[in-house]
Structure 1
């Protein structure tokens, strides 16, 4: 008997040979806010992850002497904790080999338990909440400084450089915003500083008149905000409208290229000081500049914040897999723990709890509508 002029034994041999040579697919999951007020940051992170995976595939990614295809599974967590856990479960059910994400602390922390229970390594390129690594999950890592470092660095600058003595503190009640504000308050305590008010809003609010009016009566020389640019920008506008002339300070949530657009002329000249949970100096600056150039060439837009850290997170995970000659989480996790990788964001090594070793914080201000570096602190 013949099938299409091929004998059955020969047809079976061809079929089995094809199956034997089928290329292995390694799935990398990522969760970012691709919708909602922080979608501009989430899309950047998705772009950077895709950029890294495309580059690795183009070079021919190998594991154990065999070519492997990397596949990105990108999901929208909306920056919402409940949606974030749903995304985490979806990625676990899809049998991802590792996760780069999430982008916000509010989604990263609750999602991390789901990944931990499934034994899937997770590298967050942007979550700064101390709670993330304080859980001591063996597969949880981050590529940026935590809010402990951010808050203390901003506090020291507010006291030593800005000479702030009467400070109002506002946060958006998110895991990130409240945590950062708490760390800032810890940093200024005992330094002759008077916290004249501690107010809060929420990430979806648009009117801050009541809390700002209360703050204005207390005559602060600095307003510290723990939250994102989608609130920080409009808040600056309303501060100007109310005649509040205080300096404005915040963390990485506001410290990006979108703030001038969101704040308009309320941004002022050198009125805003913010921190980015990362930073490079010396020879590493050239590598960062080259990456920024490549990103803009590919996507037609400038980097706003954490694209280099997302890119490096993918590269670090892929490198650990290659060192282990396996994409199985249990096999490459030990390599991830002891890795030393020279990335575009600097040297990457992890502390036993998953925090980045020797993490940097970069302080910025804005002049002429442009974000300008003040200094890098380690």
Structure 2
């Protein structure tokens, strides 16, 4: 097995499934005693997009439109369900996904154009449904920040999810919009174990920092929930109650969970990671995962793909529902207000000039 790249999640970089030729790694004789290879660096590529709002018809997602400021994610979470999307660009869902990133330089302008269309109908937009909107490159690029600024100007309702304390940077927008019923947030916490988090989500914020993000959002007036996602049987499932309790103490008022999903290339990447990072429990984890998926690594059925099925999945569901009741995370969520949406006069004038040109 290839040595893990420092600070990265995937252990390999297999060719994307849509490519006509496959490339495999091989042992070229170099060892740890030889001169170290150059570190894997992150590259950023601007993407010239025509639209910014993506539509979906998945019945189990909970929203029909989303914005993803980035393609690829530097957090490097080994289980990330977005990894296979990199294959559509001729890149690997492995190390390419977490090191070769794409962004939309005109994200804010594209969003403004779409919101100004006469036939546009306001509905909640979810930000970060595929890749994290607050991954490390956001500190400099501020793509997510620019999108939130447009949302605020238009009074457009949105929800957002992240694993990063960087979200707290934008409480000046999230706070007022949250208090007006226009914004809500979820922070994903998969473990309180720093060692496991570092191995499984190498460039995401530490668990303690994610709890800090929940506190700062709650203090600012943002309805904030915690996502225990994914639940990985035999690896982090024993922490379900402790994560929910810690999040509730930090200020979370709701919670959700998703059972580990291993579609397409993710199953091989996850197996490879398990064998390297947690060899002592790799066989047990995969056995339990298959027990939640009808004996397979993954079952894509719409009715069960988020939670799984069978006795192991049922036990997780029972524990989750008992825990959210115990810690006060079971309050019904108030829908975001879609009646306050307005196209500001400044945007109308700008669009008129654009049309005239």
| TM-score, length of structure 2 as denominator length | 0.31
Higher alpha-carbon Rg: 1
Give the structure with the larger strand fraction.
1
